[in-house]
Amino acid sequence: MASTTRSVLKASRAAQFARAKSFSSSAVKNTSLKERLAQLIPAEIENVKAIRAAHGKKSFGPVLVDQLYGGMRGLPALIWDGSVLDAEEGIRFRGKTIPECQNLLPKAPGGQEPLPESLFWLLVTGEVPTQEQVTELSKDWAARAALPDFVEEILDRCPPTLHPMSQFSLAVTALNHNSAFAKAYQDGISKKEYWGPTFEDCMDLIAKLPNIAGRIYQNVFGQRKLPAIDPAKDYSHNLATLLGFGDNAAFVELLRLYITIHSDHEGGNVSAHTGKLVGSALSDPFLAFSASLNGLAGPLHGLANQEVLIWLRKMQSKIGENASDEAVKEYVWSTLKGGQVVPGYGHAVLRKTDPRYTAQREFALKHLPDDPLFKLVGQIYNVVPDILLEAGKAKNPWPNVDAHSGVLLTHYGLHQMQFYTVLFGVSRAFGVAAQLIWDRALGAPLERPKSYSSSAIEKIFKDKQ
Ligand SMILES: CC(C)(COP(=O)(O)OP(=O)(O)OC[C@H]1O[C@@H](n2cnc3c(N)ncnc32)[C@H](O)[C@@H]1OP(=O)(O)O)[C@@H](O)C(=O)NCCC(=O)NCCS
């Protein structure tokens, strides 16, 4: 099965390469994202047709009854070219590892981390954009960033006790009021044209997220007046400014890295898959992405980055700072014996340390090597995997992305843990949006898997005995 996957991916990548070469490089350098996408779509439609004609009737591996009961782990069921997750190696965005993205993608002047704008371009087209294309994208998003008054009012009326993720989801749902796709659909748009208004909605969605996140942060925690979006600054810089950290160059760099690495984690994770599923009903991108956010808000998914810091703080208050390895081990065991999970460890697909954890660790080594909480995270890394192995349940005893992110944010003064998953959500919009655009371009059908009752399963196998 793995070799089938590889050969299909290889064929797909070869087709992308051929397509990319079919346009002169100077013409490609001058295109906007939407123009480049319009050039790529026809060949991709043919590519999918060819794959289906060649392989459509072939079996793609067995389905085990355990997979029906076990959260569909490993069940091959979705197509998404934007990113692919290897259990050992971790994520690749359009075939590129995180270090490759850090190396290849355009950066801000004087910056070292990729601009998330460039990652979005890569996710959508499979190509590395030029610096000029990225600058134009930053400006385009700045121009689209304003929120409708009624959305601002919805946020201002939320009680500060309402979790920031619930506020986030409410505001994104309400943006559907101005959806270009919903309007075009009502006006009778042809199926072939679906991707155009979907693209516009996705661009609006991403563009408006800093203002939503900034407003939630200031309403709940800050009470600062929100500054206007500056079209001369990049997306992450504007977001940092709205949160009140725009003057801190290292924090801005952290946000660029953070948004880049949290954007996408292939198609099957809860937030990415929820967006695709809801989008498959032709719900517009705002409705689809607010559903993604509600999945991201679960503690086994995106809320884990909040949970990690809460857990670390509790540990510090119980065993003190600079505690011995023995004291840390005892605390980890007490978490497990209390029937709780160790947040930030384990993964449904990964079986090694998450490269997103490693990228954040390298950032910390560069910018905050002496931070006490960072040191504690390193100490935990040295003790937790052995304990999880000894406990004998978790299939992956290694840290995931969430084990590290909160430590970095709190180092720069963003202490409000309840807000962390909002930043994850801003980033995840990049992957969900790219996927929604391609789903509409390729005419992805309504998702409708088959469910079985337990008695049907029993009967099927009884009859076969
Ligand atoms: C991510 C996660 C939900 C994956 O779940 P999964 O695919 O079911 O993981 P596994 O197959 O390894 O789970 C097998 C068992 O090990 C347990 N396990 C997995 N990770 C664990 C952890 N970090 N701490 C304690 N127990 C863990 C599971 O709860 C499960 O127990 P059960 O048999 O009593 O139900 C799980 O590892 C987890 O809960 N991690 C902590 C939360 C977290 O960091 N989430 C962010 C993920 S990016």
Q: In terms of domains, do 172 and 272 share one? A: yes
Would the pLDDT of 64 be above 80? yes
Rounded to an integer, the average pLDDT of 83-98 is: 97
Domain-embedded: residue 462: no
**pTM score above 0.85:** yes
DSSP letter at 224 equals P
Task: Find out whether the beta carbon of 406 lies less than 6 Å from any atom of ligand 1.
Answer: no
Rounded to an integer, the average pLDDT of 410-433 is: 97
Q: Calculate how far, in angstroms, residue 345's C-alpha sits from the geometric centre of ligand 1.
A: 7
In 369-441, alpha helices (H):
372-391, 402-411, 420-441
Q: In terms of domains, do 355 and 416 share one? A: yes
Question: Which pLDDT score is estimated for 44?
Answer: 97
Domain-embedded: residue 61: no
Question: Which pLDDT score is estimated for 4?
Answer: 47
40 neighbors 19 (Cβ within 8 angstroms) = yes
Q: In terms of domains, do 217 and 288 share one? A: yes
Query: Which domain, by its residues, includes 40?
Result: 1-22+29-51
Whole-angstrom CA distances from 250 to 119, 210, 259, 360 are 20, 18, 14, 13
- Tell me if residue 114 falls in helix, strand or coil: strand
pLDDT in tens, 160-188: 999 999 999 999 999 999 999 999 999 99
pLDDT in tens, 436-465: 999 999 999 999 999 999 999 999 998 776
Domain-embedded: residue 57: no
* Number of compact structural domains in the chain: 2
Domain-embedded: residue 85: no
Q: In terms of domains, do 272 and 358 share one? A: yes
Q: In terms of domains, do 9 and 153 share one? A: no
Q: In terms of domains, do 265 and 320 share one? A: yes
Domain-embedded: residue 334: yes
Mean pLDDT, the chain, rounded, equals 93
Would the pLDDT of 36 be above 70? yes
Q: In terms of domains, do 266 and 359 share one? A: yes
Counting ligand 1 atoms within 8 A of each CB, the residue from 393, 396, 428 with the most, and so the one to mutate, is: 393
Rounded to an integer, the average pLDDT of 282-301 is: 97
Rounded to an integer, the average pLDDT of 395-414 is: 95
Q: Taking each helix axis from N to C terminus, what angle separates 402-411 and 304-319, rounded to the nearest 10 degrees?
A: 70
Question: Which pLDDT score is estimated for 25?
Answer: 56
In 105-243, alpha helices (H):
116-125, 131-143, 149-157, 164-174, 180-186, 195-217, 235-243
Query: Pick from 59, 60, 53, 63: which is nearest to 11 by CA?
Result: 53
Domain-embedded: residue 453: no
Rounded to an integer, the average pLDDT of 215-240 is: 95
Domain-embedded: residue 248: yes
Question: Which pLDDT score is estimated for 3?
Answer: 47
Q: Calculate how far, in angstroms, residue 118's C-alpha sits from the geometric centre of ligand 1.
A: 33
